[in-house]
Amino acid sequence: MLKIPQKVDHALLLMRHLAEGHATARPVSLEEVAKRERISQGYLEEVARLLRTAGLITGRRGIGGGYTLARKASDMTVADVITAMEGKTWTMECLGESPKEHRVSANDALWRKVQGQVMATLHSVTIAEIVRKEETV
């Protein structure tokens, strides 16, 4: 099982809500998402700040304000969101205890191959696809 940071999971939830709002051209408030998903609004504000800094979302203050996608959901991938949250050097973590000393494992080539396949998948799955899959579940 992959270890997905909570911040990434919440960012993807927020992007789903914004993608749904994008279809109606309606800004989505963080308060609305926080209530619907039972997530701290303060935490979502930090997530939104990182997504905005990465250019994935835009925000508008005031009455009728909220957040919207900066471009079409079909033009943004899961990898874009992860990079916004974790930085360009994010990698998968293996579950289990970490060794006391760094050592090269005989399985390192296998794990690098798995990492490459996961990365390729995350770069190929768009936010629009995630929303469509959720609707069919």
Say which DSSP state 68 is in: E
Say which DSSP state 70 is in: S
Per-residue model confidence as pLDDT tens digits over 84-93: 998 876 665 5
**Residues whose CB is less than 8 angstroms from the CB of residue 95 and which lie 6 or more positions away in sequence, other chains included:** 1, 3
Domain coordinates in residue numbering, the chain: 6-136
pLDDT confidence of residue 127? 95
Query: In which band, very low, low, confident or very high, does the pLDDT at 25 lie, cut at 50, 70 and 90?
Result: confident
pLDDT at 137 over 70: no
**Residue with structure tokens 């293996």?**
94
pLDDT confidence of residue 3? 77
Residues pairing with 13 in the sheet: none
CATH architecture of 6-136: Orthogonal Bundle (1.10)
Asked if residues 44 and 7 have their Cβ atoms less than 8 Å apart, the reply is no
